[in-house]
């Protein structure tokens, strides 16, 4: 199943991630992001969004709802923004949490712009860990929309 990926599915799940990003409580010091985790058979495992609780990140929130789970081995994470690679307020970045969880693929709409961190290296670190990373630039504008107040 992992090699039978269809663009229509990618669009379906990224659209859901975009809708989740719109639920984020506004913040002047953090991005509004939505994330969904899908197993190898195309079933949703978990979803999350920024500040769903406390100062949680979207990917962190979705992964946190699962804990260790064998289905994560073939899973895909859809996130409207590149997973963070530096996290001052937590021991692990979302990139590190994703690598630790053993996901197979990450699909993002937008690479993190240098607003809060000089250079996000999420994509590079995920690929170095053997995770497939795909970008869906057709969703970039929709992913940026809930972040318009940051001056993007
Ligand atoms: Zn993060």
pLDDT in tens, 53-79: 999 999 999 999 998 899 999 999 999
> Whole-angstrom Cα distance, residue 99 to residue 94?
9
Taking domain 7-147, whether its CATH number is 3.40.140.10 is answered by yes
Residue positions annotated with a catalytic role: 59
> Whole-angstrom Cα distance, residue 80 to residue 118?
19
Neighbours of ion ligand 1 (CB under 5 A): 57, 84, 94
Q: Provide the pLDDT for residue 5.
A: 59
Taking residues 29-43, report their average pLDDT.
96
Q: Provide the pLDDT for residue 4.
A: 54
Cα-to-centroid distance, 63 and ligand 1 (Å): 11
Q: What is the dihedral of CA 13, 52, 128, 147, to 10 degrees?
A: 80
Cα-to-centroid distance, 54 and ligand 1 (Å): 13
Residue ranges per domain, the chain? 7-147
pLDDT per position as a tens digit, 117-130: 888 999 999 999 99
Whole-model pTM: value is 0.94
List strand residue ranges (DSSP E) for 42-139, in order. Answer: 44-49, 76-79, 105-108, 132-135
């Amino acid at each position: 199943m992992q090699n039978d990926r269809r663009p229509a599915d990618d669009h379906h799940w990224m659209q859901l991630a975009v809708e989740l990003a719109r639920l984020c409580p506004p913040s002047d010091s953090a991005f509004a992001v939505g994330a969904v985790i899908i197993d190898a058979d195309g079933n949703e495992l978990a979803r999350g969004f920024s500040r769903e609780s406390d100062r949680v990140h979207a990917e962190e929130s979705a992964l946190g709802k699962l804990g260790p789970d064998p289905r994560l081995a073939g899973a895909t994470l859809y996130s409207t923004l590149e997973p963070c690679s530096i996290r001052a307020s937590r021991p692990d970045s979302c990139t590190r949490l994703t690598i630790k969880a053993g996901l197979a693929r990450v699909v993002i709409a937008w690479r993190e712009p240098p607003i809060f961190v000089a250079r996000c290296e999420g994509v590079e670190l995920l690929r170095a860990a053997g995770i497939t990373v795909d970008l869906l630039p057709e969703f970039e504008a929709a992913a940026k929309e809930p972040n318009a107040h940051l001056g993007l």
